[in-house]
Structure 1
Amino acid sequence: MARKAPRHAEAERNDYALLDATKKVLAVDGAHASVATIAARAGVGVASLYRRYRSKDELFQHLCALSLDQWIEAAERGLEHDDPWEGLVHYVNAGVEFSGGSLGPLAGTIAVTDDMATRFTRSDQLMRELVERAHVAGVLRQDVTAMDISLLIEQLGKSPLIEQLDRQGRTDLADAARNARRRMIAIALDGLRPGHPPLPGTAPAPALLAERWEHTPTDSARPPERP
């Protein structure tokens, strides 16, 4: 495999630092998070960002595509497991780990690009394969759907305790907080096993997540936002 040029490798590292910082800042500030705050958290210069991206929206669209790559890789790794249950557990744990804060607050605030849509379709297909494989093997309760798994990961990825300690700079409690979250994940995963009472209500439709990303520009004449 060819090695990446130093400049390209640095840009990629910066992108993933930005992705991580964006998730954390969005968890606190929501969609109103400024590029300046995100850049400071990632240790990246704002000026260098705007040399690469023409607007805040373009930056967020690129980060969404990178995030989808993480979901695709997690699903592919899960499908590599011989044990369907272990493959699903890998996917859930990986998703919880890197989705902290998540990019959900951006839903509806930016246009979904063709690149984002293509990666989402691939990610969704792989995740459904994971769920179907677990159903066929009888290790996942039959009333749990792929949408249920997606929503579960989104909920578990947000840890009010970890986020609060992070804001307070309490690194002394970070390990204990992460251990507590691992216990919560284990409890939730046990609930996916067969043998439990039926789930309430009806299975959530895919549109529940997809439609929140529909974007209607409020002012097309407004120039690209700057921090």
Structure 2
Amino acid sequence: MTRKAPRHAEAERNDQALLEAAKKVLAVDGAHASVAAIAAHAGVGIASLYRRYRSKDELFQHLCSLSLDQWIQAAENGLEHDDPWEGLAHYIGACVEFSGGSLGPLAGTIAVTDEMAAKFTRSDELMRELVDRAHQAGVLRPDAGKMDISLLIEQLGKSPLIDQLDRQGRTDLIDAARNARRRTIAIALDGLRSGHPRLPGAQPAPALLTERWEHTPEDPAKSSGQR
């Protein structure tokens, strides 16, 4: 096995620390999250960030690309399960665990790069395969589709209780809160199984999530030097 150069390995560690920090800071500050706050939370020097990334947008685009890698990996792992339900449940659980959708506040604030678009397409294809396989096996309720699952992941990926306890430093309650969260996820997953009363209304259209990423470039004079 080829060992990675120390500098490359350090960059990867910093990337993962920044991604996790961005998720937490965005959960609190939304689209107004600053690079300085994210860097401080990740323990990464802001000067080194701006040597690597030319702008705040470039950093956020890179973090979105890393997040999409997590979605793809979760789907690929789910498809390795022989049981369609177990595969889908693994995918949902993994995406909730790494807070899939937590970079949603960035939607519409940055341009979608070709790399982001390609990874989104790949992620969408894999998820469709997971959902179609579960439908064909009769284990996923017929009136639930990809969008329902994507929205569920985005909602379950947020835990106001855990976030609050984390900010308060209440480490004595964190384990109990995480257990409660796992129970909530299990309840939600059970609601996706076949045999339940029909869901209200029509399945959400994909545009509900995708169109929020449409981006109108800012005036360069206003955005230059923004950090």
Quick check: TM above 0.5? yes
TM-score range, shorter chain: over 0.9
CA-atom RMSD in angstroms: 1.0
Deviates more, 1:216-225 or 1:39-48: 216-225
2:140–2:194 contact (8 Å) kept in structure 1: yes
Using the TM superposition, give the Cα deviation of residue 100 of structure 1 relative to its aligned residue in structure 2, in angstroms.
6.3
Contact 2:67 2:100 in 1 (8 A): no
Normalised by the length of structure 2, the TM-score is: 0.97
- Structure 2 counterparts to residues 1-227 of structure 1, below 5 A: 1-99=1-99, 102-222=102-222, 223-226=224-227
Distance 2:163 2:114 in 1: 32
Alpha-carbon offset, residue 101 of structure 1: 7.1
Q: 1:219: how far off? A: 1.6
Counterpart Cα distance in 2 of 1:132 and 1:100: 21
Secondary structure, in 3 states, of the residue corresponding to 1:8?
helix
Contact 1:23–1:101 under 8 Å retained in 2:
no
Task: Provide the C-alpha distance between the structure 1 equivalents of 2:214 and 2:129, rounded to a whole number of angstroms.
Answer: 26
* In 1: Cα distance, 2:48 partner to 2:124 partner: 33
SS in 1 for 2:143: coil
- CA deviation vs aligned residue, 1:63-106 (integer Å, no higher than 9, x gap): 00000000000000000000000000100000001016710000
Question: Aligned residue pairs: how many?
Answer: 226
Q: Deviations over 1:144-169 (max 9, x none)?
A: 00111000000000111011111111
Give the direction of change, closer, same or farther, for the CA distance of 1:11–1:101 in structure 2 (3 Å limit). Answer: same
Is the contact between residue 56 and residue 224 of structure 1 (CA under 8 Å) also seen in structure 2?
no
Q: Is the 8 A contact 1:95 1:153 kept in 2?
A: yes
> Which amino acid in 2 is paired with 1:51?
R
Unaligned runs of 5+ in 1: none
Cα distance per residue 1:15-40 (max 9 Å; x no partner): 01000000000000011011111001
TM-score by length of 1: 0.97
Q: Secondary structure at the match of 2:220?
A: coil
Aligned partners of 2:100 and 2:153 also within 8 Å: no
Taking structure 1 as reference, are residues 209 and 101 closer, same or farther at Cα in structure 2, changes over 3 Å only? closer
SS state of the match for residue 99, structure 1?
Answer: coil
Q: Is the 8 A contact 1:147 1:204 kept in 2?
A: yes
Alpha-carbon separation, structure 2, partners of 1:98 and 1:219: 34
Q: Distance in 2 between matches of 1:189 and 1:90?
A: 10
Partner-residue secondary structure (3-state), 1:77: helix
- Give the secondary-structure state (helix, strand or coil) at the position aligned to 1:111: coil
Q: Is the 8 A contact 2:102 2:158 kept in 1?
A: yes
On the 8 A contact 2:74/2:94 being kept in 1, the answer is: yes
Distance 1:142 1:79 in 2: 19
